[in-house]
């Protein structure tokens, strides 16, 4: 009790000193209150996310999942259309690095048009796969652990996206592989690749080269979705206009 009384006296004395010295009142009093909290074991840094808003962990988890669901739907609509990948420099798919020697040889032989066609079709495959993967993303989002909800809620603007990416990339890639494989066939990327490699192998003394188009498009396609999903999450956190559902308004409006 003596320590407690001393703490209050110290705060009062500091307040009086601040007033007499003419220091900016708001900053001084703010510092004093923080010091007082620290003395009494109530530092503001220990407050739980959402504690002042009456939000439960369940509310926060639901809000984060809703943000990812809404964000993923917007992103899929953006990238899953003609030139969604192809004409976006941030997510455009170049030819796989393993085809560098093929690119050099065919360019030298005056057949660069074949490579341009293949590159375009890889982007078309990513664009075609994105809408088909919509449900896969929604299902994966539903599996986010409630135990991590508060930490993510109080984290960086793309914390939920990055958590989702780290936890779900491998299983999601496995689910997307047949979707992308089908898209590659549908847009003619497989045929284009076979034509390119046939011409390449007709050139004497070229090194062996090959590419796994399916795994490449899965990886790069998901990278593009996660890039924009992170931006959508940040927008929902920061901009009330982007909170298109009552749940998003409740959870992110309370921050």
Each domain of the chain, given as residue ranges in start order, spans: 2-46, 51-252
Give the pLDDT score at 254: 73
For residue 184, count other CB atoms closer than 10 A to its CB.
Answer: 25
Kindly report the pTM of this predicted structure: 0.76
Which are the contacts of 231, defined by CB distance < 8 A and separation ≥ 6?
158
Q: Could you tell me if 60 and 251 are in contact, meaning their C-beta atoms sit under 8 angstroms apart?
A: yes
pLDDT tens string, the chain, 255 residues long: the values are 444 444 434 444 443 334 334 444 444 434 443 444 343 333 333 334 444 357 888 999 999 999 999 999 999 999 999 999 999 999 999 999 999 999 999 999 999 999 999 999 999 999 999 999 888 988 899 888 888 888 899 899 999 999 999 988 999 999 999 999 999 999 999 999 999 999 999 999 999 999 999 999 999 999 999 999 999 999 999 999 899 889 899 998 876
The angle formed by the CA atoms of residues 184, 189 and 194, to the nearest 5 degrees, is 125
With the CA atoms of 182, 160, 220 and 69 taken in that order, what torsion angle do they form, in degrees rounded to the nearest 10?
30
Give the pLDDT score at 182: 96
Q: Tokens representing 110?
A: 């005056």
């Amino acid at each position: 009790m003596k320590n407690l009384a001393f703490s209050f006296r110290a705060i009062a004395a500091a307040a009086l000193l601040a007033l007499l010295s003419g220091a900016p009142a708001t900053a001084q009093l703010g510092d004093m209150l923080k010091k007082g909290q620290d003395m009494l074991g109530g530092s503001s840094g220990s407050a739980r996310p959402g504690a002042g808003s009456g939000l439960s962990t369940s509310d926060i988890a639901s809000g984060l999942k809703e943000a990812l669901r809404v964000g993923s739907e917007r992103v899929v609509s953006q990238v899953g259309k003609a030139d969604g990948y192809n004409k976006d420099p941030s997510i455009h798919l170049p030819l796989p690095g393993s085809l560098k020697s093929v690119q050099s040889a065919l360019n030298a032989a005056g057949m660069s048009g074949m490579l341009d066609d293949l590159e375009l079709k890889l982007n078309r495959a990513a664009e075609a796969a994105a809408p088909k993967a919509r449900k896969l993303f929604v299902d994966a989002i539903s599996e986010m652990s409630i135990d991590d909800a508060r930490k993510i809620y109080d984290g960086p603007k793309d914390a939920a996206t990055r958590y989702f990416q780290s936890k779900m990339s491998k299983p999601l890639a496995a689910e997307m592989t047949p979707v992308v494989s089908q898209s590659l066939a549908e847009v003619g990327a497989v045929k284009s690749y076979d034509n390119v490699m046939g011409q390449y192998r007709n050139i004497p003394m070229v090194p062996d080269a090959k590419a796994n188009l399916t795994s490449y498009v899965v990886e790069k396609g998901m990278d593009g979705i996660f890039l924009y999903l992170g931006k959508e999450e940040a927008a929902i956190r920061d901009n009330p206009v982007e909170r298109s559902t009552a749940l998003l308004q409740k959870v992110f409006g309370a921050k």
